[in-house]
Amino acid sequence: MARIAKLLAVPLLLLSPLAAGQAPVDEIRSTLEDRTAVAVTIYNENLALVRDQRRVTLEPGRQSLAVRDVSAQIRPETALLSSLDGEMRLIEQNFDYDLLSPHSLLEKYVGREVRAVTVNPANGNESIETATVLAINNGVVLRFADRIETGFPGRLIYDDVPDNLRDRPTLVLELENETSGPQNFQLSYLTRGLGWSADYVASLNAEETRFDLNGWVTLNNNSGTRYDNALLQLVAGDVQQVREAMPMARSAMVMEAAPAPQADMAQESLLDYHLYTLQRPTDLADQQSKQVALMSAADVPVEKRYVLKGQGQFFGGRAEGVQKQDIGIYLYLRNDEDSNLGLPLPAGVVRVYKNDSAGRIQFVGEDRIDHTAKDEELRLRLGNAFDVTAERVQTTFKKVANRGPYNFSAEVGQKITLKNATERAVDVLVQEYLPGDWEVLAENTDHRELSASLVEWRVRVPADGSTDLEYVALIRY
């Protein structure tokens, strides 16, 4: 197998004047040098719209126009050709995506003749024999005039490159053209391989009451071609696609909590989505990840909250012993003008930093947000508290007579001990999910209903002390 791999990796010697990537003699080829403008609109879910304008010289009548350097992940069924001069008509199109490589060239020559070159190790003289490629499954099989060989130790010479084997992704258009001379056209198509995401960096102040928020757009181009001096637009929102989702790998980015430049993106509404337009042209190189400033907001008010989230399984039966639970650290803020925000925020990851006592910046947590409209509340979970803890004990579990249609009825009592080892008093929000039809029968702190199944108690816990929350609920389902 090692000898076969060596064979496929050697340079190819092409004896025909048709060099690699050359178009057939009756084909007009358009390259990136013909491009006059390009615009790229990138959506969520690995989808982009490319509008590629070019200027080429055509002849009257029917002809083939090979548009090179289109996206390697183009969805050819979405391609739309528009003549900007109104003098060309599309008849047929073919997307050639089988790209030239040693393996693909050898594959095209199965059943055809090649010339096999071997070198005499004693004197360095070369000998050339004609052979037919029989197969390339798990290695090449060659038929010579007097034998069949596998693991051939030399190199192969090919006479030409097949017309449908190209060095770059190419969309071949069959056109009917009216006049001769330069023609302007726009090729629009949807493609995979282009994606974007929003990343946010927040710098929390010492009092943990405000932070500066900078937003960035991370662009990823894995489409197989480049877009130079492109008009870039981004659509935030979930656009319906009638196809199976194909996730795109996203490069990991490490961002520092540094001040962002002035935002480069202008925002407007598009249907029920939001369209962001970069205010300057940009280059998107293939296999590149780059970042563009999205927004910047200083001195945003935030509220740090300690939240203990309960679970429904604490009410379905008897629970023995003490159960320790984590208390989450959250930052709450409102996306409105009073908070120096008030603009649509695309879904993304918010990373929060804070300076230590020596002024060194430290990472304190991150959370993902959904698309957030103006005036909505944002909630960021940073992690679990170290010095604020909780222990739960079931104090009562008593089945009661069934009432009406309910198959299960029980009185369940809970005692939650909240401990605070810090030097200041804190409030802990205890949120309990009560299943079925429920009723709080007794409690030592008043609750409020957040939803049909979610109840919340706000419990004050003194510095270096503890507080018990006790209640009994009737659960029926």
Q: What is the pLDDT of residue 399?
A: 85
Q: What is the pLDDT of residue 263?
A: 52
Q: What is the pLDDT of residue 312?
A: 58
- Spatial separation of the C-alpha atoms in residues 394 and 412, rounded to whole Å: 7
- Spatial separation of the C-alpha atoms in residues 460 and 468, rounded to whole Å: 10
Q: Is the pLDDT of residue 17 over 80?
A: no
User: What is the DSSP-derived secondary structure letter of residue 75?
Assistant: -
Mean of the pLDDT values across residues 446-471?
95
- Identify the burial level of 466 via C-beta atoms within 10 angstroms of its C-beta, where 0-12 means exposed, 13-18 middle and 19 or more buried: middle
Q: What is the pLDDT of residue 20?
A: 41
Mean of the pLDDT values across residues 137-149?
90
In tens, the pLDDT along 414-435 reads: 999 999 999 999 999 999 998 8
Closest CA to 166 of 73, 74, 69: 69
| Residue 468: both structure tokens together | 């018990």
56 half-sphere exposure, CB direction, 13 A CA radius: 27
Q: Is the pLDDT of residue 86 over 70?
A: yes
- Spatial separation of the C-alpha atoms in residues 54 and 40, rounded to whole Å: 15
Between strands 265-270 and 273-278, the pairing is antiparallel
Could you tell me the pTM of the whole model? 0.68
- Spatial separation of the C-alpha atoms in residues 381 and 76, rounded to whole Å: 43
Confidence of residue 337 (pLDDT cuts 50, 70, 90): very high
In tens, the pLDDT along 279-303 reads: 888 999 999 998 888 889 999 999 9
Confidence of residue 199 (pLDDT cuts 50, 70, 90): very high
Confidence of residue 313 (pLDDT cuts 50, 70, 90): low
In tens, the pLDDT along 218-232 reads: 899 999 899 999 999
- Spatial separation of the C-alpha atoms in residues 168 and 160, rounded to whole Å: 17
Between strands 35-43 and 47-58, the pairing is antiparallel
329 vs 164, which has greater pLDDT?
329
